[in-house]
Structure formats: C-alpha cells, structure tokens
C-alpha cells in the first residue's frame, strides 16, 4: 500500500528533517515494507537517501528560467527529487491552477520520468448536484492526463473533505473508487480528513490502495500508526 504525508505549508526545515527521520526509524523498527512518501514544504527539501520517498508539492514545468516564485527541474535535481504532487485541490482552488496548466506540468514531469501523484476531487456544490454531475466534473480532471503512465498514482480527494473533518461514507468511497479505477489502473489513494481514528477502515476498503494524509500527518506518531495499519493489511 501507499501511505503519503502532505505537510503543506507546515514545519521548518529542521522540523521536517526530524519528522522524516522519526518516520524512517519507526518503519525500520517495525519492519514496515509499504511505500511511504512525504511531501515537505518546498523550502524544506533536502538531498535524502533514506527509506522514505521525498516529493515536491509543486514545481513549474521548466528546467529553469524567469518564473518568479516558482521552482523548476534544476532546483529539484539538486536534491534528487523525482516525485511530484500535481493537481492538489489547494493548487486548483486556492492558487487557481487550470486543467491546462496541470496537463503541462504532468507532461513535463512525465517526460522526466517523475513519479506523479495526480489529485482529483469535487467541491461541495458539485457533490450536492448529484452523482452524475459529480462524476462529470471529476472526469474533466482526467482530461489530457496520460492515465496509462507507469509512474502514476492517482489520489481522490473530495475538496469538501480536506481539512474539515468530514469524509464521504465508506460506501461512497468504495463506489467512487470503483468508477475511478475504470478510468485508470494506476494505484488509487483516498485523501481528505484521514485520521488515526478512521485510517484503518479506509485503508481496508476495496479499491483503496493507500491514503494521502494532510493535517493528521503532522502528528508524526499518528502518521506512523497509519503506516502500521497499512502494513497489517498488506493488500
Ligand atoms: P487533510 O488530511 O488535512 O484533510 O488534507 C488532505 C490533503 O489535502 C492531503 O493532500
């Protein structure tokens, strides 16, 4: 299974290093063989040679150049980063990235062989408009994306479930994952208010290959416990 921590705009460089070390010590000590990914804030990236895969939360589709406030491949290469999160709801809805821009990023980093965690998910008003409208909306987030890319992981994260403590019902997650699995055979993660209290049951669901965790992952011991749950299930 795949267990990923999106640390968003949290922790300092020093704290991120400590965090990753703690996770790795835990994985080693408990012989956890699941795939574990951590996405620290970009300023906290480092060259890293441990057991956990470190990814970037964002990057511009460029090697380098005049893109103030962005980073490109040259900056990632310095630290050996080969994993990227694309299409996160906060990039789509807070920063305003369009599907067109996401496709550019996807194609650029795919060409470079990056592992891509591509996020999809609907806002509340879309969900409330009914299942058909919701699936139509999510389908558009697949437009232009090479769903057969071998280094692709997809994360279904309903926007209204992110950071709110709300989640779809377990039945809903299974049903939506089933429909999304029909679009791509890439591993499919669930994200949105995954906590140490619900992680076990979410991980156990049919069609769930892992979880992408935000706020709860900031508690390193909670994130470690979720990795342990995944190891026990070992789907
Ligand atoms: P929360 O776990 O805080 O809901 O965030 C989920 C998320 O956005 C992971 O990418």
- Which residues, 6+ apart, have CB-to-CB distance to 17 below 8 Å? 44, 46
Take atom 7 of ligand 1 and give the residue whose Cα is closest: 214
pTM over 0.95: yes
Take atom 5 of ligand 1 and give the residue whose Cα is closest: 214
Looking only at the bridges linking them, the beta strands covering 188-191 and 210-213 are parallel
For 186-223, the pLDDT digits (tens) are: 999 999 999 999 999 999 999 999 999 999 999 999 99
For 5-60, the pLDDT digits (tens) are: 999 999 999 999 999 999 999 999 999 999 999 999 999 999 999 999 999 999 99
Compute, in angstroms, the gap from residue 66 CA to the centroid of ligand 1: 31
Domain boundaries, the chain: 2-233
Residues 113 and 180: their CA atoms lie apart, in Å, by 23
Active site residues: 88, 157
Residues 213 and 223: their CA atoms lie apart, in Å, by 8
Q: State the Rg of the chain over Cα.
A: 17
What CATH architecture applies to the domain 2-233?
Answer: Alpha-Beta Barrel (3.20)
Residue 82 has pLDDT above 90, yes or no: yes
> Quick one: angle between helices 13-29 and 220-233, nearest 10?
30
Judge residue 14's burial from the number of C-beta atoms within 10 Å of its C-beta, 0-12 exposed, 13-18 middle, 19 or more buried.
Answer: exposed
């Amino acid at each position: 299974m795949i267990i990923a921590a999106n640390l968003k705009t949290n922790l300092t460089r020093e704290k991120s290093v400590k965090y990753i070390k703690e996770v790795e010590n835990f994985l080693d000590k408990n012989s956890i063989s699941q795939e574990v990914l951590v996405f620290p804030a970009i300023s906290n990236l480092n060259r890293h040679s441990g057991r956990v895969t470190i990814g970037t939360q964002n990057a511009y589709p460029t090697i380098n150049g005049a893109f103030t406030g962005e980073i490109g491949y040259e900056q990632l290469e310095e630290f050996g980063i080969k994993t990227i999160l694309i299409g996160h709801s906060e990039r789509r809805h807070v920063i305003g990235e369009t599907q067109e821009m996401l496709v550019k990023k996807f194609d650029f980093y795919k060409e470079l062989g990056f592992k891509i965690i591509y996020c999809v998910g609907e806002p509340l008003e879309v969900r409330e408009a009914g299942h058909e409208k919701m699936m139509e909306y999510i389908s558009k987030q697949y437009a232009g994306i090479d769903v057969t890319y071998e280094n692709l992981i997809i994360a279904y994260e309903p926007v209204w479930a992110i950071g709110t403590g709300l989640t779809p019902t377990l039945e809903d997650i299974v049903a939506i994952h089933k429909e999304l699995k029909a679009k791509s055979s890439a591993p499919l993660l669930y994200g949105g208010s995954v906590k140490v209290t619900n992680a076990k049951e979410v991980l156990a669901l049919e069609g769930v290959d892992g979880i992408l965790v935000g706020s709860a992952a900031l508690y390193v011991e909670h994130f470690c416990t979720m990795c342990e749950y995944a190891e026990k299930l070992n789907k």
